[in-house]
Each structure stands twice: as structure tokens, then as C-alpha cells.
Chains A and B, each alone.
Chain A
């Protein structure tokens, strides 16, 4: 079974949640995917439209009051095991929006963030490194899950 986990992590599907980002980070995420120089598809990644298909989820933006409930709801719809990557400094600290009246962040008050990719916006290379780190973390989780047996959700948290 360990063999199957090693195969599974070579097919990470990505999903983006925009939690009030200024769109700078989202543009960088698109750059990472579609520009020949960076191309995350070489890691087997694919951007998917539905949160139900996702394995790795990117969260951008400082989590504004307006999108908080929706963002949390979408995040909860992603099937386990999932890895959460916070992209940009906004999810970490609020970034340039820090202290704003409508900022509910940082994101990890509500969502267990696994990996931070800081930068405003981060470079595509950094995002790719985040994806590679996420794959390693995912593999460790799958192995833990196998060792743990039945308690899926418990073993994952």
C-alpha cells in the first residue's frame, strides 16, 4: 500500500480559494500553471474547477468578513486528505490590508494551514516549491493514515 501512496501523490489536483485577495497572487498562480517556463503540470498537477476534485488547495487573500463564510464552506467541501497552502503574505498577517475594519484573518484562525508561501505576490518558483513541499506532506499523511487504519478524519488532523 505504501507503493500506492507514492503513486497517488504524483497526481495533485489544485484548487484556488480567493479569500479577498487583491488578485496579484491569483495572477501568479495562473502564471505558474500556464507559462512554459514554470508549468506545474510537469508535476502532474491540474487546476480543477470543482472543490470536490481537489487535493491541494491554495488560499489567497486576508480572509475578509464578506467571504469568510463562503471560503470556509468551500474549504470544508474538499475531500480528505487535503493539503492547504496559504499563498502570499495576506493570509499570514493581513499584509497591506492588516488592521482593516473588514479583515477577519489571519487565515489560520479558521483553517489549519499546512504550508505558507510568503511574498507579495510570491514568485512562481516559490509557489512551485510550495507544491513540492505539499506533496511530501501529503505522502506523510497518507502513510500515517495507513498505519492508523480506520480513523480517517482523526488521523488526518
Chain B
């Protein structure tokens, strides 16, 4: 009897984490805020006024009221499922995300390898969307998406390995995100550890690639292949892609914070939530807004070569340094 009670409480907490904090509402709210801040900051960098901070919320409300069209020649089922796939994948990721000082993640579930499998889901959703929409631009977009995805996943894997081996010490690798945060709160943050600074830089390079911001917005290049896989989406389905993108921003930034700078401030959970938000904002400004405002777009082969050269080399340096110390 008592055991079932424990399970019910656990399930209740899991649902709470998935729907309210830190997944679901919390991640969505923060993600949309970050997107708004991104647009505002970019506009200010170009000395424009820019949209209000809450513009992404307005966009979502607008999109939910628009007509949702499905092209006559599309694969209807896949076309409908694709936006939901990316969104759910990101919601699960967000539920496992530790917010240092507030929420430790689920120690037995919040595994970095789970992230490694779930993080590409929005990209996979784009690939499905592009291939099912029966549009030539969608097909172009999805082949580009696949190419770029393979390129930026390799440095991510090396970064994850380097961190896992470092935290595991001589005892093997430690993949639990919750324990990695704990370890850093005791032994100092990894972002200040010289062995892992190259890995941190590699992660910084990974961020614009995975978020598809210029110069890596090759799959959705709106000026060449008119938004590629998203071309045929309208109304609520497009809103789901936007929400998935917003949550993904929080997830990849929060993942970076948890890996390298999970330090906490003295004070209550509220202070630490704001501190987390501040770190995400700084990371986003550095890797997305500044880069976006200042660059054009790579060709797909240039992006591929770029990722296989510099970020991979940086991450590999870290990995070798960590291995040498074991």
C-alpha cells in the first residue's frame, strides 16, 4: 500500500517537472523571453528600436488563430506529427534539466547520453517536415539539415565524453547531469578548469549550429530556399515549431550552464532562478545574438568543414588532457 503511494507521488512529481517546472511552462516562458531578448538585442546592435521583449508571445497567439494549411500532395500524417515530435522531445529534455540551486534534475534519469539522443529531435522533426511536405525547397532543406547535424554532433559527443571522464575521475565516466552539477558545486566549476576550457569553447561553437542561427542557418535559409522545411507550415503547426525552438534555446543553454558554470548564489530559489536566467542570457548574447548580427551565411560544405575542424579539434584537446591526467 505504502509502496504504491510512493510511486504515485513520484509520478506526480515527474508530471509536475514535465509540465510546470523546469519543463513545460517554465521552459516555454523563459525560452520565449530569451527569443524576445535576442531579437531586441540584435536590433539594438544594429541601432534599431526593435520589437518589444514579449514579441514571441504575441507571435504565438497570432499563429494559433491563423488558418493551418496542408499541401494537397503532402504526406498528411507525417506532416502533422513532425511539429509535435520536436516539441515533445524538447519538453522532456527541459524536464530533466537541472537548475543549479533550485532543482537537481532526476538523478537516475537526467543522463547526458539521453540528451545526446533527444537534442537532435527538433532537427529530426525538421527533416521529417521537409521530406513530408513534398516541396522541393523542403527536400533541399532537409538534406542540408542532415549534413549540418552530423557535423555539429561530433564536437558535442567529444565534449560530453571529456566532461564525463573528468568528473568520473579514475572511477570511470559520470554521465548523470545531476551528479555533475553536484561535483562542481563541491570541487569548483569546470568552466574555470584549464583542461576543460577548450571543451567549453567547442560547446560555444556548437550552440549557434544547433540553434540554426546565422552563419549556420543553412537548412532554413529564408533568402535562398525560403525557410526550407518550414516553408509549407502555417498557423498552429508553425506555432509548435516556434515553441520547440524556444524550449530548445533554454535546453542547450541550460545544458551548457550545467556542464560548465553551475555555480549558485547564496539566497533563495528565486535568486538562483534569476542567476540561471542571467547566465543563459549572457551565453545566448555571446553565441547567438552577436554572431547573428555580425555574420552572413556559410555554404553547407563550409559549415561542415568548419565543425569538423575547429570545434572538434578543441573538444579533442580537452579529451586528451583529461585522459592524460587519469
Task: State the A residues within 8 Å of B (CB).
Answer: 4-5, 7-11, 13, 34, 36, 39, 41-44, 46, 48-50, 52-53, 55, 77, 79-81, 142, 152
- 16 of the cross-chain contacts (CB-CB < 8 Å) are A5-B65, A7-B62, A36-B47, A41-B39, A41-B48, A43-B51, A44-B51, A49-B226, A49-B231, A50-B226, A50-B227, A50-B232, A53-B238, A55-B66, A142-B65, A152-B67
- Write the chain B residue with the least CB distance to A36: B47
Quick check: which of B53-61, B121-129, B273-281 contacts chain A, the rest being far away? B53-61
Known contacts A39-B48, A49-B223: A10-B58 contact under CB 8 Å? yes
Task: State the B residues within 8 Å of A (CB).
Answer: 39, 43, 46-52, 55, 58-59, 61-62, 65-69, 222-223, 226-227, 230-235, 238
Q: Is A79 touching B222 in the complex (CB atoms < 8 A)? A: no
Known contacts A7-B58, A49-B222, A80-B67: A42-B234 contact under CB 8 Å? no
Q: Is A79 touching B234 in the complex (CB atoms < 8 A)? A: yes
The minimal Cβ–Cβ distance linking B82 to chain A, given in whole angstroms, is: 15
Q: A55-B66, A77-B69, A79-B69 are in contact. List 5 more A-B contacts (CB 8 A).
A: A8-B61, A36-B47, A39-B43, A50-B222, A53-B230
Most buried by A among B59, B226, B227, B233: B59
- How distant is the Cα of A36 from the Cα of B45 in the complex, in angstroms? 10
- Write the chain A residue with the least CB distance to B234: A52
- Write the chain A residue with the least CB distance to B56: A11
- How distant is the Cα of A43 from the Cα of B52 in the complex, in angstroms? 8
Q: Is A7 touching B61 in the complex (CB atoms < 8 A)? A: yes
Q: Which 4 A-B pairs give the minimum distances between C-beta atoms?
A: A49-B222, A79-B67, A49-B226, A52-B234
Residues of B within 8 A of A142 (CB): 65
Residues of B within 8 A of A9 (CB): 62
Partner of A52, one of B222, B223, B231: B231
Q: Is A39 touching B231 in the complex (CB atoms < 8 A)? A: no
Known contacts A39-B49, A44-B52: A79-B58 contact under CB 8 Å? no
The minimal Cβ–Cβ distance linking B241 to chain A, given in whole angstroms, is: 10
Known contacts A11-B62, A79-B68: A53-B49 contact under CB 8 Å? no
Known contacts A49-B227, A53-B227, A79-B67: A36-B222 contact under CB 8 Å? no
Q: Is B235 touching A50 in the complex (CB atoms < 8 A)? A: no
The minimal Cβ–Cβ distance linking B205 to chain A, given in whole angstroms, is: 26
- How distant is the Cα of A55 from the Cα of B222 in the complex, in angstroms? 17
- How distant is the Cα of A50 from the Cα of B129 in the complex, in angstroms? 15
Partner of A8, one of B65, B67, B223, B227: B65
Residues of B within 8 A of A41 (CB): 39, 43, 48-51
- Write the chain B residue with the least CB distance to A35: B48
Known contacts A8-B61, A50-B227: A39-B235 contact under CB 8 Å? no
- Write the chain A residue with the least CB distance to B222: A49
The minimal Cβ–Cβ distance linking B326 to chain A, given in whole angstroms, is: 49
Partner of B49, one of A4, A42, A48: A42
Residues of B within 8 A of A50 (CB): 222, 226-227, 230-233
Partner of B51, one of A5, A42, A80: A42
Residues of A within 8 A of B66 (CB): 55, 79-81
Residues of A within 8 A of B46 (CB): 34, 36
Most buried by A among B51, B226, B233: B51
The minimal Cβ–Cβ distance linking A105 to chain B, given in whole angstroms, is: 25
Residues of B within 8 A of A49 (CB): 222-223, 226-227, 231
- How distant is the Cα of A81 from the Cα of B62 in the complex, in angstroms? 11
- Write the chain A residue with the least CB distance to B66: A79
- How distant is the Cα of A70 from the Cα of B43 in the complex, in angstroms? 34
- How distant is the Cα of A49 from the Cα of B226 in the complex, in angstroms? 5
Q: Is B227 touching A48 in the complex (CB atoms < 8 A)? A: yes
- How distant is the Cα of A34 from the Cα of B49 in the complex, in angstroms? 11
